[in-house]
Amino acid sequence: MGTDSNFGMRIKFRDSLLRSSVFLVNRYLHLTHAILLFFAAAIAGTLNAVAGGGSFVSFPVLLFTSVPAVEANATNTVALWPGLAASTVVYLKRLDAPPRLLLPLLVTSLAGGWAGALLLLHTPQRTFLHLVPWLLLSGTLLFAFGNQIRAMAGRTSVVEDLRQLSWQAIVASSVLQLVLAVYGGYFGAGIGFVILGMLAALGMRDVLAMGAIRTLLAAASNVAAVVTFIWAGAVLWPQCMVMLAGALTGGWFGAHFAQKADPKKMRYAVIGVGLGMSAYFFIRGH
């Protein structure tokens, strides 16, 4: 029954997409749109490699090119995921967490990402479009005040060995990660800073080790969303392929640029873009 239900949802979503006039516009990618999306994704890839927040650029540009809001979010998630996966591979050598902590967090990340993606696919286009400015604003605020959240959470006692964590702490962090992963599968901007705050609350202080776990959990929630979006036919592949090339190019450049860039200035730039995009879509929606 579950398989039939999922298949029926996929067919229903594809049929509604095929009937929409916007889909007819976006089956074929105009050269100007391709160029715009490539450079937007390149900027997003660079930002993600340096400071994060790349979706604040790439997602709105998809909307500017007349891509429907739900498909824009799905396409953006799929296009930027390989860069996140590459970062995860790089971070693996810094991953130092016991299985009793890591496995529950991974399971809740996958489950939450899947649930968030399904929630997005069942959100009407008009409803999601009205949610866009609020999602952008919430993501921007999480990005802007992520360090403060992490600092407040970091007032707990330091845990030198994560194997000493109690089951109560593991359960609480897993429940929180489930909620975060649902948001990650649904939209996800700024989620990394909240995950860092959660890890700091557990008593972690090794920034690189925390970054490794954060990246792995974000990649896990996103891969569940990516598979769901692809299965449902919600990804516009011409746009996705162009953005994928741009994001990988930007990620390569950003990895080299990050060694010379001022992280504080880059953060301010991302916050400025996020606030500007939020304001634009608030005005556009009224």
- Give me the residue label for tokens 């599968």: 185
**Maximum C-alpha span of the chain:** 57
Residue-wise burial string across 129-163, b where 16 or more C-beta atoms lie within 10 A, e elsewhere:
bebbbebbbbbbebbbbbeebbeebbeeeeeeebe
Q: pLDDT value at position 79? A: 95
Residue pLDDT, tens place only, 80-122: 998 888 877 777 777 777 888 889 999 999 999 999 999 999 9
pLDDT at 127 over 60: yes
Give mean pLDDT, residues 46-65.
85
Question: Token pair of 201, please?
Answer: 């609350």
Q: Say which residue, 147 or 274, is predicted with more confidence.
A: 274
Measured CA to CA, the distance from residue 106 to residue 112 in angstroms comes to 10
pTM of the entire predicted model? 0.78
For residues 65 and 236, is the Cβ–Cβ distance under 8 A? no
Distances (CA, A) of 266 to 41, 48, 231: 16, 10, 36
pLDDT band at 24 (very low <50, low <70, confident <90, very high): very low
Span 224-249, pLDDT tens digits: 999 999 999 999 999 999 999 999 88
Q: What is the pLDDT of residue 68?
A: 92
Q: Is the pLDDT of residue 255 over 90?
A: no
Q: Is the pLDDT of residue 43 over 50?
A: yes
